[in-house]
């Protein structure tokens, strides 16, 4: 089974947008026993026709992204119809869905949007729950030969749910009898990629019956194993021994999902008091549906006055020790705990940069505290000298991990 | 001048690494008047030979990344020598540099590393200041025709300095007299992609001397024009007329950067009171370096009690009108203004979903208020029935735009 990915979009080649589709597809396809043998990006417009016809000669499955929108540079539908020598037909169901969506959003239905209702004859419509342009699936044809062709929207927030709901089931049918290999992902926090490789990865690679991969994000590493279920079951105890409590999930959930779920199970709540992370910790927690069961109060006390007026940090403490200091982190967490009535409160105070650092307190320095009802407050010092956004990501990840360890203790 | 990019690397197709090369090259090439007409990724190994020979037939300049390392799957050098019918010769200067680097890092010189000293006859060596594998440049040949061919290392930290120091000067010579074309991006908020196209895009496309493109994000559209400076200057007034105050930037900045910069210029401050957006608004503002000059207090009042205790929203108001209502949004903004002492306060209260909606107050409903010192509070109702994260993104974008309009008034 030869799979190719064809991305269309001038913005990808001008460098305005980084193409994340190839990597994302690669991850989705692997568990099915499929690999991408080639990925191509072409600009919007005519170039897609040529690139598509080349894929036709080589591939069994072609995933095309982009060019399905309402504007004149979106010509994927027309190119495909031209290559197949078939007509585009307005689909009344698609039109109805677009009309409903447009009405819900309070937009005006515009003539141009009707282009999105055109479907190549014989194509199967893939619903788009997050946008107006539907995806399209044209099954393989023997003569003239064409591959299984999937036309998918460019924006990841539209493409990814559509792929999961409508494309994966078709692909599973197409490659039903490929050798069954499983993919397991061990999601790890608090250990670097090299440490994971050294402690367990190298040994696994030597076996020869496993494919071992790593994916690192700010303070998070995925150890990915591909093999038969038997092999994976056999090595699992070894992995658990090696990474211990650094492993937090094998289900692909992220750390905030883990924390919110666990808090809900325990009927407990957390509050946040953020300085350098500027609301990201609250944002991450509230990205989890149902977060309101466990999160009620967040304080973004960016200025010293706010730390004093909102969560009672004594201004004398900031004068003597500085706003970025362990006692201030402890006072922030304590104040947030008291004001919110929650069971836990996490606080962060640090220097995100690029400005504001000094020799004594450099950019990247951060104090993270966890106040606990009826127990002493924990506080640790860290250094994450990175760009501003990565700093915020790592710092909040570390704060969530501090709470995770507390929740593991019961 | 036709430019192609060929990326090699199995990890790019398995999804372990996102390919940032195409976007990066795109940005570097544009000022030279060059555009990438196609980008291709193939796995390590034999596939590179076929992809390279296809490029030879089409392109004038080919940038190849990866496959220059010491391991057996790194065969870019061999593939190129094979295609050209030339020999690989060990280069003593390259060897000396590798020996020095290996000694400096305290490694052992391994036999395999000597592969990296091999240079196709007639190729120009491009020094690698950040790694062991040098880059290679093979100038264009007339018969058999071959393009200007650059072989560059895969890791961005090696490739990017090498490109700047050794590739750009050659490219500048090659395309010295290309007509200079400029790219302008008009960033628009509060108008959909179709509306932008209808109001101004279609007219611009008809001219024939402009390339017109669009890129849509949650409540944000980029209108991208490419043409000569004269043409762009000529049409600019028409664009400004058509999109009016929906246009917020031509410099590529995002809305939070615009808002923070403008607030700083005016010596004013903003506070936030967030319910449904859960801290994202504060996070976006504090992503901007120097946000502390304009942002001091953020309240994430996720629960009703927090709205009352932290920013003084009367609980009777929530009982009678509901927490998601216009008077509560107004009270939140007013409370945050008073508590923070800021000049403006933005508040959001709504239903992010997926749960919590009702017929009267469906998922996606949100009230956004802007309290202003010495002026009445503004408040508007919106419906953004989208997935939870997109909802938060659109809602905060809309809140920032409300403040932007206020700041435009002075």
Minimum-distance CB partner of B383 among A73, A104, A130? A104
What is the Cα–Cα distance from A178 to A35, expressed in whole angstroms? 12
The owner of tokens 């008291």 is: A338
User: Residues 305 to 334 of B: which have CB under 8 A from any A CB?
Assistant: 305-306, 309-310
Please indicate if any CB of chain A lies within 8 Å of the CB of B390: yes
Residue A288 near residue A262 (C-beta atoms within 8 A): no
A179-188, B163-172, B193-202, B236-245: range with lowest mean pLDDT: A179-188
CA distance A21 to chain B (A): 9
Identify whether the C-beta of residue B194 lies closer than 8 Å to the C-beta of residue A70.
yes
Q: Which two tokens stand for residue A41?
A: 């990006």
How far B89 CA sits from the closest chain A CA (Å)? 31
Calpha distance B141→B145 (Å, rounded): 5
E strands of B199-343, at which residues? Answer: 211-217, 220-227, 247-249, 270-274, 295-301
SS3 of A168-219: HHHHHHHCCCCCCCEEEEEEECCCCHHHHHHHHHHHHHHHCCCEEEEEEECC
Label the pairing between strands A3-8 and A61-65.
parallel
- Could you identify the residue written with the tokens 């010192």? B373
Shortest CA distance from B27: residue in chain A: A15
d(CA B137, CA B193): 42
> Which residues in chain A touch residue B388, judged by CB atoms under 8 angstroms apart?
287, 289
Query: How many CA within 13 A on the CB side of residue B232?
Result: 17
What DSSP designation does A349 have? E
**pLDDT-derived band at B190, boundaries 50, 70, 90:** very high
The continuous run of DSSP H or E covering B185 comes out as strand B182-188
Contact A254, A288 (CB under 8 A): no
- CATH classification of B182-249, choosing from 3.40.50.1240, 3.40.190.290, 3.30.70.20, 3.30.70.2860? 3.30.70.2860
Residue A13, chain B, CB below 8 Å: the answer is yes
- The answer, for B389 touching chain A at a CB cutoff of 8 Å, is yes
Helix A304-311 × helix B326-340 angle, to 10°: 120
Dist. CA B281–CA A173, nearest whole Å: 43
Residue B387 β-bridge partners: none
B386 touches chain A (CB under 8 A): yes
| CB-nearest partner of B19 from A16, A22, A290 | A22
Name which of A163-172, B48-57, B267-276, B289-298 the model is least confident about.
B48-57
Residue B205 CB contacts under 8 Å (≥ 6 apart), including other chains: A72, B212
pTM passes above 0.95: no
Q: Which of residues 158-217 of B touch A (CB under 8 A)?
A: 183, 185, 192-195, 197-198, 201-202, 205, 211-217
CB–CB contact A296 B283 (8 Å): no
Predicted pLDDT of residue B31: 79
> Helices in B30-91 by DSSP H: which ranges?
47-58, 76-84
pLDDT of residue B294: 98
Band (pLDDT 50/70/90 cuts) for residue B115 is confident
Eight-class DSSP state of B197: I
Question: Using the beta-carbon criterion (under 8 Å), do A12 and B25 form an inter-chain contact?
Answer: no
Position with higher pLDDT, A5 vs A209: A5
Distance in angstroms (rounded) separating the CA atoms of residues A180 and A195 = 30
Report the range out of A39-48, B12-21, B342-351 with the highest average pLDDT: B342-351
Task: Measure the CA angle with vertex A162, ends A158 and A168; round to 5°.
Answer: 145
Task: Check residue B201 and give its pLDDT.
Answer: 86
d(CA B347, CA B281): 9
Nearest to A283 among B212, B278, B387 (CB): B278
User: Taking the CB of residue B202, how many other CB atoms lie within 10 A of it?
Assistant: 14
Same fold, B3-174 and B255-408: no
Residue A382 is classified by DSSP as E
Mutate to test the interface with A, among B207, B302, B354 (most CBs of A within 10 A): B302
Q: CB distance B300–A279 less than 8 Å?
A: yes
Above 90 in pLDDT, residue B69? Answer: no
The answer to whether the Cβ–Cβ distance between B15 and A38 falls below 8 Å is no
Sign of CA dihedral A168, A169, A175, A176: positive
Best mutation target, B251, B283, B318, B363, to test chain A (most A CBs within 10 A) = B283
Q: For residue range A342-353, what is the model confidence (pLDDT) as tens digits?
A: 999 999 999 998
Tell me which residue of A192, A138, A129, A193 sits closest to A158, measured CA to CA.
A129
Q: Classify B3-174 by CATH class.
A: alpha beta
Closest residue in chain A to residue B12, using alpha carbons only: A23
Residue found under tokens 């979009």: A9
| Contact (CB<8Å) B298/A299 | yes
What does DSSP say about strands A270-274 and A295-301: parallel, antiparallel, or unpaired? parallel
Q: Where are the alpha helices (DSSP H) in A244-325?
A: 255-266, 280-286, 304-311, 315-321
Element (DSSP H or E) covering residue A10: helix A10-14
- Which residues does chain A have within 8 Å of residue B22's beta carbon, measured at their own beta carbons? 12-13, 15, 19, 41
Q: Do A310 and B297 touch (CB under 8 A)?
A: yes
Q: CB contact, 8 Å: B355 with chain A?
A: yes
d(CA B8, CA B278): 42
pLDDT, greater one: B259 or A195: B259
CATH superfamily to which A255-408 belongs: CinA-like (3.90.950.20)
Query: Is the C-alpha dihedral spanning A242, A248, A249, A255 positive or negative?
Result: negative
Q: Is the pLDDT of residue B15 over 80?
A: yes
CB atoms within 10 A of CB B96: 11
**Residue B177: predicted pLDDT:** 66
What secondary structure does DSSP assign to A42-82, as a single string?
E-SSTHHHHHHHHHHHH-SEEEEES--SSSTT--HHHHHHH
Per-residue confidence (pLDDT) for residue A16, from 0 to 100: 82
Please state the domain extents for chain B: 3-174, 182-249, 255-408
> What's the DSSP call for residue B164?
I
Query: What pLDDT, on the 0 to 100 scale, is given for residue A177?
Result: 65
What confidence category does residue B107 fall into, taking pLDDT thresholds of 50, 70 and 90? low
Contact yes or no for B300 and A302 at CB 8 A: no
Spatial distance between the Cα atoms of A247 and A199, rounded to a whole number of angstroms: 13
Q: Which residues contact A399 (CB under 8 A, 6 or more apart)?
A: A277, A281, A346, A348, A368, A370
Closest CA to B223 of A314, A296, B242: B242
Which of B198, B222, B298 lies nearest to residue A279, judging by beta carbons? B298
Q: Are B137 and B170 in contact (CB under 8 A)?
A: yes
Q: Which residues of B touch A290 (CB under 8 A)?
A: 355
Looking at chain B from residue 88 to 127, which residues have their Cβ under 8 Å from any Cβ of chain A?
none
Distance from CA of A32 to the nearest CA of B (A): 12
DSSP structural state of residue A31 = G
- The Cα A398–Cα B379 span in angstroms is 37
């Amino acid at each position: 089974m030869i799979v190719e990915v064809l991305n269309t979009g001038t913005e990808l080649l001008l460098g305005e947008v980084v193409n994340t589709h190839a990597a994302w597809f690669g991850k989705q396809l692997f568990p099915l026993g499929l690999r991408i043998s080639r990925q191509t990006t072409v600009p919007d417009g005519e170039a897609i026709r040529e690139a598509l016809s080349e894929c036709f000669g080589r591939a069994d499955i072609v995933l095309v992204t982009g060019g399905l929108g309402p504007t004149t540079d979106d010509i994927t539908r027309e190119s495909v119809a031209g290559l197949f020598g078939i007509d585009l037909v307005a689909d009344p169901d698609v039109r109805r869905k677009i009309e409903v969506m447009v009405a819900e959003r309070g937009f005006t239905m515009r003539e141009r949007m009707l282009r999105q209702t055109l479907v190549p004859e014989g194509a199967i419509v893939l619903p788009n729950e997050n946008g107006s342009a539907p995806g399209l699936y044209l099954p393989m044809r023997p003569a003239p030969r064409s591959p299984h062709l999937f036309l998918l929207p460019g924006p990841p927030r539209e493409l990814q749910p559509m792929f999961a709901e409508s494309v994966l089931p078709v692909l599973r049918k197409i490659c039903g009898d490929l050798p069954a290999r499983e993919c397991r992902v061990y999601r790890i926090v608090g250990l670097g990629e090299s440490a994971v490789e050294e402690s367990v990865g190298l040994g696994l690679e030597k076996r020869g019956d496993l494919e071992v991969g790593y994916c690192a994000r700010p303070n998070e590493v995925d150890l990915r194993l591909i093999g038969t279920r038997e092999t994976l079951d056999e090595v699992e105890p070894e992995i658990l021994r090696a990474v211990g409590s650094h492993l937090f999930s094998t289900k692909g959930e992220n750390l905030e999902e883990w924390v919110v779920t666990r808090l809900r199970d325990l009927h407990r709540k957390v509050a946040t008091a953020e300085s350098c992370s500027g609301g990201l910790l609250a944002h991450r927690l509230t990205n989890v549906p149902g977060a309101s069961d466990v999160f009620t109060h967040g304080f973004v006390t960016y200025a010293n006055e706010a730390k004093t007026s909102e969560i009672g940090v004594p201004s004398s403490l900031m004068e003597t020790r500085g706003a970025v200091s362990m006692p201030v982190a402890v006072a922030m967490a304590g104040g947030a705990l008291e004001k919110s009535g929650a069971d836990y409160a996490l606080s962060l105070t640090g220097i995100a940069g690029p400005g504001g650092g000094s020799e004594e307190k450099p950019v990247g320095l951060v104090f993270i505290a966890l106040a606990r009802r009826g127990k002493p407050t924990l506080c640790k010092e860290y250094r994450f000298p990175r760009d501003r956004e990565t700093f915020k990501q790592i710092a909040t990840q570390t704060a969530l991990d501090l709470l995770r360890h507390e929740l593991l203790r019961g």
